[in-house]
Amino acid sequence: MSSLARVRAEARASLKSFLRRRTAVFFTFFFPVLLIVIFAGLVRTGGGGTGLFSQPPGYYVPAYLATVVLFTPLSRVGSTVARHREGARFEKLSTTPLRSWEWLAAHTLVNVALIAAACAVLVGALAATGADFALSPWLAAFVPTASVLFCGVGAVLGSLADSQDGAISLSNGVALPLLFLSDTFVSPAALPEWFVPLLNLSPLTYFARGVRTATYAGGSPVPAFAAVLALAAVAFAVGVYALPWRET
Q: How far apart are CA 244 and CA 156, in angstroms?
A: 10
184-237: pLDDT as tens digits: 888 888 888 899 999 999 999 999 999 999 999 888 999 999 999 999 999 999
Q: How far apart are CA 41 and CA 151, in angstroms?
A: 31
Does the pLDDT at position 124 exceed 80? yes
Asked whether 28 and 72 are in contact (CB, 8 A), the reply is: yes
pTM above 0.85, yes or no: yes
- Greater confidence, 58 or 69? 69
Q: What is the pLDDT of residue 26?
A: 63
153-175: pLDDT as tens digits: 999 999 998 888 888 888 889 98
Phi, psi of 94 (to 5 degrees): -65, -15
User: What Å distances lie between residue 160 and 9, 50, 65, 235, CA to CA?
Assistant: 27, 38, 27, 15
Average pLDDT of the chain to the nearest whole number: 85
Does the pLDDT at position 54 exceed 70? no
- Greater confidence, 86 or 220? 220
| Residue closest to 142 by CA, chosen among 218, 76, 231 | 231
Does the pLDDT at position 23 exceed 80? no
Does the pLDDT at position 50 exceed 70? no
- pLDDT exceeding 70 applies to what percent of the chain? 84
Does the pLDDT at position 49 exceed 60? no
Q: What is the pLDDT of residue 163?
A: 83
Q: What is the pLDDT of residue 72?
A: 87
> Mean per-residue pLDDT for 84-93?
86
- Greater confidence, 129 or 210? 210
Q: How far apart are CA 140 and CA 120, in angstroms?
A: 10
| Residue closest to 65 by CA, chosen among 132, 7, 11, 139 | 139
Does the pLDDT at position 63 exceed 60? yes
Q: What is the pLDDT of residue 86?
A: 84
Q: What is the CA radius of gyration of the chain?
A: 18
Tell me the domain boundaries of the chain: 3-242
